[in-house]
Amino acid sequence: MSWAPPMLHAAPRDASTLAWNIPPAELTLAPGEVHVWRADLDAVGDTDVAQLTLLLAPDERARAGRRVHAPDRQRVIVGRAALRMVLARYAGVDAACLTFGRTAAGKPVLTEPPDSALRFSTSHSAGLALCAIVAGREVGVDVERILRGPMEDVVADRTLSPTELSVLRALGPGGRDRAFFAVWTRKEAYAKARGLGLALAFERFSVSAAPDAPALLDAEDDDPRRWTMYDLPAGDGYAAALVVEGAVGRPMCWAWSPAVSAR
């Protein structure tokens, strides 16, 4: 089945051309820019974890405390502190002073500082987290660790479009897993950008199913030209995608660490 959806804003065919860099000391978010931060949640020492815990609100600490295993608790602490430290650099406030809320559909938003133009999206899988940030437009990001055999799960028939399923089922076992997660992250990032998450009927819109092809979108109830979709090189064994409202330049990709974000 051939498929050529309208593409509004070109995305790079080769995601490997994007690199995770150390950010400058003076960091600004210009109109039309999108910044994506990558955090290795397992590469933080115990001393840093203790300091990062102090940045969290009581409900965030409680959420971490409910994790039974220590590595899982650390990932929650580091991921949430990383989000606070990154947003604080753009908002110009102390990381501990940020407060968060949710839209009626459940999308996380900043409530303090009030009336902020910052929009953000986060995702984590295993020990890796991504955070995408823009100003005055919607954004969604998703990262997934690539596992074996997801196409055998019944979830595929309920979350992929007929076009996507047809393409994936035509692939050999060796390429199917990677292609499945390319599709899934593109769809999830789009759903997050729309602020709907899993409330959006995933089988009613399609993205390109080849992992090395441009990440394209075709939706029944939305104009694809409203969005820019990118693949991101999250790291070996991971798939990741970014969706931003409107035309944006190439993502600026930053590597997070406690020392870098404390600048």
Task: Categorize the per-residue pLDDT at 55 as very low, low, confident or very high, splitting at 50, 70 and 90.
Answer: very high
Amino acid at 219: A
The answer to whether the bond into 173 is cis (omega within 30° of 0) is no
Report whether pLDDT(1) > 70. Answer: no
The position carrying tokens 């400058």 is 24
Q: Picking from 180-194, 218-232, 244-258, which range would have the lowest pLDDT averaged per residue?
A: 218-232
How crowded is the C-beta side of 113, counted as CA atoms within 13 Å? 13
pLDDT digits (tens, 9 = 90+) for 224-236: 888 999 999 999 9
Residue 161: Cβ within 10 Å count: 22
Task: Categorize the per-residue pLDDT at 12 as very low, low, confident or very high, splitting at 50, 70 and 90.
Answer: very low
Backbone φ/ψ region at 217: left (φ over 0), alpha (ψ -120 to 50), beta: beta
**pLDDT at residue 111, as a whole number:** 93
β-bridge partners, 144: 239
Q: How far is CA 147 from CA 144, 173, 184, in A?
A: 9, 12, 12
Crossing angle of the two packed helices 46-53 and 70-91, in degrees rounded to 10: 60
Q: Which residues contact 247 (CB under 8 A, 6 or more apart)?
A: 8, 9, 32, 228
Rounded to whole angstroms, the Cα distance separating 116 from 92 reads: 11
Which stretch, 24-38, 130-144, 179-193, has highest mean pLDDT?
A: 130-144
Query: What pTM does this model have?
Result: 0.89
**pLDDT at residue 106, as a whole number:** 85
**Residue 123, SS3 per DSSP:** strand
Element (H, E) at 191: helix 173-193
pLDDT digits (tens, 9 = 90+) for 56-108: 999 999 999 999 999 999 999 999 999 999 999 999 999 999 999 998 888 89
Rounded to whole angstroms, the Cα distance separating 33 from 135 reads: 8
Q: How far apart are the first and last CA of the chain?
A: 52
